[in-house]
């Protein structure tokens, strides 16, 4: 099988007006959520979250189909699509428990689908980065595990101050924090690689979306730790904006190749 080929010149550059519209939409969503009653904000947050995550998944599957004849990229984008499909299912389960059944959604089966996002996205990032670099440098081998370790140490220290002693929430939070911070590490690695590639701009844009999503997750876990999260919190909009950036990046991918 011949190796995948990518174009020598990017023929479809980024339209920064679209990025500006995404950020303006994010600001508009934030002020809309902030001015709604709690139940109404929760319902709108649910609708937006499922819709946007499902869109990321659907466009990922379209790109995967386009790349399917290749050895790496078809599987990579299939994995990304499965990750956000799992995330959409998790949101549906979460809000079904909270809004319809009136029972606590944490912890619940929804968390299994939330967590599944991380291994699927990691597979996507690792497949793509390993296509461009066959071996990680000594520096990368040092800082890639250092980032998750740093977040875990900071989280554990903060959590023990808040909780007084380790309990279920402490260990449960660390599991998800490990997933989010590891994804962040590989997203940073991808950003450093893809900015130099022939698909550079579009791939970098996709990785920035993944990276921003991971940062939002890390912010969320801290908020949950101190009991400060609510549906209209700015971190909710961070997820929407990051996912919309990914949708745009995926659109650019399938237009370029």
pLDDT in tens, 222-240: 888 888 989 899 999 999 9
List the single range of 80-89, 142-151, 199-208, 219-228 with lowest mean pLDDT: 199-208
- Give the domain extent around 171: 16-256
The answer to whether residue 8 is domain-embedded is: no
33 neighbors 227 (Cβ within 8 angstroms): no
Q: What is the reported pLDDT for 198?
A: 52
- How many domains would you assign to the chain? 1
For residue 84, is it within any domain? yes
In a domain, 40, yes or no: yes
Quote the pLDDT of residue 70.
84
Q: Evaluate if residue 201 carries a pLDDT over 80.
A: no
Is 147 inside a domain boundary? Answer: yes
9 inside domain:
no
Share of the chain above pLDDT 70, in %: 92
Average pLDDT of the residues in 1-14: 50
Q: How far apart are CA 128 and CA 115, in angstroms?
A: 21
Q: Taking 80 as the threshold, does the pLDDT of residue 255 lie above it?
A: no
* CA gap 105, 187 in Å, rounded: 29
Q: Write down the pTM of the prediction.
A: 0.89
Position 128 in a domain: yes
What confidence tens digit (pLDDT) does each residue in 22-56 have? 999 999 999 999 999 998 998 999 999 999 999 99
233 preceded by a cis bond (ω within 30 of 0): no
- The reported pLDDT for the residue numbered 132 is 76
Q: Given a cut of 70, is residue 108 above it in pLDDT?
A: yes
Averaged confidence pLDDT in the chain: 88
Supply the pLDDT for residue 252.
Answer: 84
pLDDT score for 167: 86
| pLDDT (0 to 100) of residue 199 | 62
Give the confidence band of 211 by pLDDT, cuts at 50, 70, 90.
very high
Q: Residue count of the chain, please give it.
A: 257
Q: What confidence tens digit (pLDDT) does each residue in 131-170 have?
A: 777 777 888 889 999 999 999 999 999 889 888 888 888 8
**Does residue 10 fall inside a structural domain?**
no
pLDDT of residue 12: 54
Per-residue confidence (pLDDT) for residue 10, from 0 to 100:
44
Within-domain flag for 163: yes
- Tell me what percent of the residues of the chain surpass a pLDDT of 90: 58
């Amino acid at each position: 099988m011949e190796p995948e080929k990518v174009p020598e010149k990017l023929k479809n550059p980024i339209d920064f007006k679209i990025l500006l519209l995404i950020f303006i939409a994010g600001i508009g969503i934030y002020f809309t959520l902030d001015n709604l009653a709690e139940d109404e904000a929760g319902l709108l947050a649910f609708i937006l979250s499922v819709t946007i995550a499902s869109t990321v998944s659907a466009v990922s599957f379209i790109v995967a189909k386009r790349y399917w004849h290749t050895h790496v990229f078809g599987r990579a984008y299939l994995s990304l699509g499965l990750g956000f499909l799992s995330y959409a299912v998790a949101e549906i389960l979460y809000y079904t428990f909270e809004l319809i059944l009136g029972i606590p959604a944490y912890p619940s089966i929804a968390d299994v689908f939330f967590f599944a996002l991380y291994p699927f996205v990691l597979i996507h990032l690792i497949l793509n980065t390993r296509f461009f670099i066959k071996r990680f440098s000594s520096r990368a081998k040092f800082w890639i595990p250092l980032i998750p370790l740093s977040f875990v140490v900071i989280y554990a220290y903060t959590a023990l101050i808040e909780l007084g002693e380790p309990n279920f929430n402490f260990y449960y939070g660390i599991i998800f924090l490990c997933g989010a911070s590891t994804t962040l590490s590989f997203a940073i690695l991808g950003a450093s690689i893809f900015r130099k590639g022939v698909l550079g701009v579009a791939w970098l844009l996709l990785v920035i979306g993944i990276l921003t999503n991971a940062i939002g997750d890390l912010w969320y876990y801290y908020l949950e730790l101190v009991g400060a999260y609510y549906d209209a919190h700015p971190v909710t909009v961070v997820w929407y904006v990051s996912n919309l950036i990914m949708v745009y990046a995926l659109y650019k991918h399938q237009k370029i190749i």
